[in-house]
């Protein structure tokens, strides 16, 4: 939990430390980033529905991914995250709802609601509030890391597009 708090403080501090003229990306850059990561979220959702952990591990995340989550622990690299996804894709479908997005050059992040719909017939749906960290690798946006806790960003409103 301390790792998540430090990560959130670091990201929040970066956003505050960037001067306003720099912190506001051009509309075209933000629109392109949102489209690219939406395609990645669609890929992840389809992979969950197909029980395909390998697509998530290799086409959504970077090789050196860091993932930290409430109740799950900390995973570093694809070899550590693979067993987690092999397990969770078995009985769950998901939907990613982007809430607030930032991009500058080859890095960006996205606050999102990660809705989980268990298919076991016993477990109730739930949501994680998640922060996805993105980097552009050879022209393709890849998730470099994520951090999540149970809950949602129901009160966090996306800024009105300029």
Going along the chain from its start, the domains and CATH numbers come out as 2-12+30-150 (3.10.450.50)
**Confidence bin at 154 (pLDDT 50/70/90):** confident
The pLDDT tens digits for 34-93 are 999 999 999 999 999 999 999 999 999 999 999 999 888 999 999 999 999 999 999 999
Q: Do the Cβ atoms of 148 and 69 come closer than 8 Å? A: yes
Q: How far apart are CA 41 and CA 60, in angstroms?
A: 8
Triad 83, 140, 38: Cα angle to 5°: 75
pTM: 0.80
What is the bridge-based pairing of β-strands 140-150 and 73-76? Answer: unpaired
């Amino acid at each position: 939990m301390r790792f998540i708090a430090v990560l959130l403080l670091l990201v929040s501090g970066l956003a505050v430390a960037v001067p306003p003229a720099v912190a506001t990306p051009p509309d075209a850059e933000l629109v392109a980033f949102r489209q690219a990561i939406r395609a990645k979220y669609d890929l992840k959702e389809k992979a969950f529905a197909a029980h395909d952990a390998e697509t998530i591990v290799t086409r959504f995340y970077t090789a050196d991914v860091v993932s930290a989550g409430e109740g799950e622990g900390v995973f570093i690299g694809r070899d550590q995250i693979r067993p987690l996804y092999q397990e969770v894709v078995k009985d769950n479908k998901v939907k990613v709802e982007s809430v607030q997005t930032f991009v500058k050059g080859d890095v960006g992040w996205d606050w999102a609601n990660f809705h989980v719909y268990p298919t076991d017939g016993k477990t109730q749906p739930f949501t994680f509030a998640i922060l996805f960290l993105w980097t552009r690798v050879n022209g393709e946006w890849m998730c470099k890391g994520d951090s999540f806790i149970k809950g949602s960003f129901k009160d966090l409103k996306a800024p009105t597009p300029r």
